[in-house]
């Protein structure tokens, strides 16, 4: 009976939000308008199939003497990307950087010597030295730089996948006595090269790997930006929900709930579930709406559903946390707006995070935006459920920690406050 | 009559502030008991503790034998609460509000529908039940606010200043409904800072000030505390000094007390009628302009005035 009250409180909150025009405007209309704006900006409504972003100038400096450096260059020169990027090969890294600094190019990708060996060690170089690809981006072209970065990330993910696969196969072969440990290096190299070539020769290096009937899916700027907008406005929704807890206290409905024969934990649970339901509804409407209106491909359905649920859960934790530590609805509203923007910036809702300093990319892990946006982009670029398990786990842990902290805080200060 | 509510040495502190200072009283089954006191006296805090919303710092209370501190769920099932604020969801209709709150009190199905219908009839809003609360007048909202407290037919109803901020007609309707509820057998603990309401409704009154219960009893018992004294209230012009006039009048024969407040002086006297002429004359001599004069026979206001030296609405 008590658990039924929890659901009744949650449904009541959902109903209240959907009757509040101002909340609806900010939760549903604003992200839609922004998405439509982006669609118009990027040519989604011009009748063309392109993203509106094309011929992104990118400079490739390849000092690698191995297979993978060449493959990466080939990826950028591939027919699938011919309209999207305009790659230029160069030998001088400093000159290439200068062109980016002068706003004449979007980014430089520098493939250092030994890159291939660092991934697929040869018999001569049995130890894997760490060799990093340098990505040097133009901060004034965040969207285009983000596109280039995402192509690079896709390539690296595929190569790493091939490398790990090779190691696992060799390990299994040794354990089953099919090869001797002495043969491991040679066999591993051959397998890794096979897998790398197999991976890179497929359309997997193009933006989308999920291809139906051989029809290539082009890069979609909305698929890149829409998750960021959706998660940013999700933060607004949950702070609005957290604020409702204090508003109810102020208007006397929360004390009234607490003097009814209902266990206080169920009242808090009902409020939290209401915020969660609202957040899920908002995400579902936005994702469903953009899918229908713009034919936006969000990717693996199960992955999208799990990400919606976990992102809403983590964001709900933040909403409750603000409601617990702040004292008035006004404080939550102001803090919520500021946090919405801050988390949006930190979490990659506006531009590609790889252009920000490393420490920001560590700090932003406290935001649901970073994990969720990353997850949605992985899915929209062809990733599967396995690729976002870390994101889902991080969001679940974030939600649990925040819920526990908020509950403890509210218990300490009293759910209804004088 | 047996007590349905027993309050023992109830204390509530917020840091250094002591909001309720060890009050004790009983409410008998079937009576209307009023807690009368000015704003900030501790009435709402007391009701909040008795309704299990806040824990007392010390002391305890029991409803029908169930402790508010150790058996809150049992207490919650027995009581109804009508809070001072309109604790309703403005975006929902009256019907939706009553349905929601009824479910919070454990009603469901046909029993809920029947009870909601009865309450809508009782508060006279059946015809407008499907309109959102935000479209209602203040008086209509108050009636729904009371209706929510009645849904589960509580044995003891707490009503915390239910007439604040409404028009005289709605106020009259609410007072009549309180009497009807009591006639139907419901015990009511009513808080107010309106002396007239306490006088009209109550079987017994507790006068509370600064968190202390300073007087308790039936109305005749309380008014007998001030003896056969009357109260003469002089309303002064805005520029006059009530303290100066009170000091001057205090030395006059027949003046037992002269208490200055905002733009008025309250004089306690054995006979207001006899004192009126000399007081007006002396005030004129002092060059002080009297705006109007009230003469009051012994009542709860006078009791409060005598016990605290202040008018009830200070």
Tell me if B89 and A261 make a contact (CB, 8 A cut-off). no
Nearest chain A residue to B73 by CA: give it: A261
Of B48, B91, B106, the CB nearest to A19: B91
Of A20, A252, A262, the CB nearest to B104: A262
Give contacts of A247 with chain B, Cβ < 8 Å: none
Indicate the DSSP class of residue A212. Answer: B
Give kind and range of the element (H or E) at residue B281. helix B272-285
How far, in Å, are A271, B93, B131 from residue B135 at the CA level?
A: 25, 9, 7
Which residues between 245 and 274 in chain A have a beta carbon less than 8 angstroms from any beta carbon of chain B? 251-253, 255-263
| Closest listed residue to residue B35, CA positions, set B167, B216, B184, B187 | B216
Which residues between 377 and 416 in chain A have a beta carbon less than 8 angstroms from any beta carbon of chain B? 414, 416
Q: pLDDT tens digits for B216-237?
A: 999 888 888 777 788 899 999 8
- pLDDT for A404: 92
pTM of the predicted model over 0.90: no
| Closest listed residue to residue B248, CA positions, set B273, B275, B274, B283 | B283
> Which tokens sit at A314?
């983590």
Of B45, B76, B103, the CB nearest to A259: B76
Indicate the DSSP class of residue A75. Answer: H
Give the pairing type, strands B32-36 and B17-28: unpaired
- pLDDT for A199: 47
Tell me if B101 and A260 make a contact (CB, 8 A cut-off). yes
A38 close to A222: Cβ distance less than 8 angstroms: yes
Q: pLDDT tens digits for A103-162?
A: 888 888 998 888 887 776 665 555 556 677 888 877 666 667 777 887 887 777 777 666
Has the ipTM of the complex gone over 0.85? no
d(CA B21, CA B42) in angstroms, rounded, equals 9
- pLDDT for B307: 81
Q: Does pLDDT of B154 surpass 90? A: yes
Instruction: Mark the ranges of chain A whose per-residue pLDDT is less than 70.
Output: 1, 36, 38-53, 120-130, 139-143, 160-224, 351-356, 415-418
- pLDDT for A213: 35
Tell me if B104 and A257 make a contact (CB, 8 A cut-off). yes
- pLDDT for A196: 54
B74 close to B132: Cβ distance less than 8 angstroms: no
Indicate the DSSP class of residue B93. Answer: B
């Amino acid at each position: 009976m008590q658990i039924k009250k929890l659901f009744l409180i949650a449904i009541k909150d959902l109903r209240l939000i959907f009757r509040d025009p101002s909340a609806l405007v900010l939760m549903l209309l604003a992200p839609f308008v922004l998405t439509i704006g982006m669609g118009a900006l990027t040519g989604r409504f011009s009748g063309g199939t392109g993203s509106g972003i094309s011929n992104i100038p990118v400079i490739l400096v390849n000092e690698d003497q191995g297979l993978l450096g060449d493959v990466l260059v080939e990826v950028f020169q591939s027919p699938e990307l011919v309209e999207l990027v305009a790659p230029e090969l160069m030998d001088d890294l400093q000159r290439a950087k200068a062109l980016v600094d002068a706003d004449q190019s979007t980014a430089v990708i520098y493939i250092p010597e030994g890159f291939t060996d660092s991934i697929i060690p040869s018999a001569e170089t049995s130890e894997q030295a760490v060799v990093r690809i340098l990505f040097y981006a133009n901060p004034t072209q965040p969207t285009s730089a983000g596109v280039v970065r995402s192509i690079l990330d896709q390539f690296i993910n595929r190569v790493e996948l091939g490398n790990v696969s090779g190691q696992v196969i060799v390990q299994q072969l040794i354990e089953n006595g099919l090869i001797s440990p002495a043969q491991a290096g040679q066999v591993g190299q051959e397998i890794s090269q096979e897998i790398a070539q197999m991976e890179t020769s497929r359309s997997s290096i193009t933006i989308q790997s999920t291809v139906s009937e051989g029809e290539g899916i082009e890069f979609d700027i909305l698929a890149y930006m829409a998750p960021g907008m959706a998660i940013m406005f999700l933060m607004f929704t949950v702070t609005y929900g957290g604020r409702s807890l204090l508003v109810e206290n102020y208007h006397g409905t929360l004390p009234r709930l607490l003097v009814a024969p209902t266990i206080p934990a169920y009242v808090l649970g009902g409020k939290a579930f209401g915020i969660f339901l609202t957040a899920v509804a908002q995400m579902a409407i936005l994702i469903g709406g953009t899918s229908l209106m713009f034919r936006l491909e969000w990717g693996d359905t199960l992955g999208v559903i799990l990400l919606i649920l976990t992102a809403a859960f983590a964001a709900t934790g933040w909403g409750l946390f603000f409601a617990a530590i702040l004292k008035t609805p006004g404080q939550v509203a102001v803090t919520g707006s500021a946090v919405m923007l801050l988390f949006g910036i930190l979490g990659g809702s506006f531009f590609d995070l790889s252009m920000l300093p490393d420490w920001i990319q560590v700090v932003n892990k406290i935001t649901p935006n970073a994990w969720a946006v990353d997850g949605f982009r992985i899915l929209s670029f062809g990733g599967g459920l396995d690729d976002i398990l870390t994101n889902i786990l991080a969001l679940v842990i974030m939600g649990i920690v925040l819920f526990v902290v908020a509950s403890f805080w509210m218990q300490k200060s009293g759910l209804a406050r004088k | 009559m047996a007590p349905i509510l027993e309050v023992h040495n109830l204390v509530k502190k917020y840091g250094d502030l002591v909001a309720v200072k060890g009050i004790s009283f009983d409410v008998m089954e079937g009576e209307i008991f009023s807690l009368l006191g000015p704003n900030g006296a501790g009435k709402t805090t007391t009701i909040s503790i008795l309704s299990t919303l806040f824990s007392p710092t010390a002391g305890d209370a029991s409803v029908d034998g169930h402790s508010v501190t150790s058996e809150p769920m049992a207490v919650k099932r027995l009581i109804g609460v009508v809070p001072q604020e309109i604790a309703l969801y403005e975006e929902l209709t009256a019907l939706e509000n009553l349905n929601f709150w009824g479910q919070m009190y454990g009603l469901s199905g046909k029993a809920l529908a029947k009870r909601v219908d009865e309450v809508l009839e009782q508060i006279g809003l059946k015809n407008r039940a499907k309109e959102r609360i935000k479209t209602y007048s203040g008086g209509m909202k108050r009636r729904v606010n009371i209706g929510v407290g009645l849904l589960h037919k509580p044995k003891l109803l707490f009503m915390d200043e239910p007439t604040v901020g409404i028009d005289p007609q709605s106020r009259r309707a609410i007072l009549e409904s309180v009497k009807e509820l009591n006639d139907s057998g419901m015990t009511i603990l009513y808080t107010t800072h309106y002396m007239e309401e306490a006088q009209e409704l109550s079987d017994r009154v507790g006068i509370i000030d600064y968190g202390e219960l300073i007087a308790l009893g039936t109305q005749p018992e309380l008014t007998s505390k001030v003896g056969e004294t009357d109260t003469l209230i002089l309303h002064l012009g805005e520029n006059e000094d009530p303290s100066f006039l009170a000091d001057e009048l205090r030395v006059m024969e027949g003046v037992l007390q002269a208490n200055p407040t905002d733009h008025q002086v309250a004089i306690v006297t054995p006979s207001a009628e006899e004192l009126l002429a000399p007081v007006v004359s002396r005030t004129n001599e002092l060059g002080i302009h009297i705006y109007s004069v009230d003469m009051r026979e012994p009542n709860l206001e006078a009791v409060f005035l005598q016990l605290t030296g202040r008018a009830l609405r200070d």
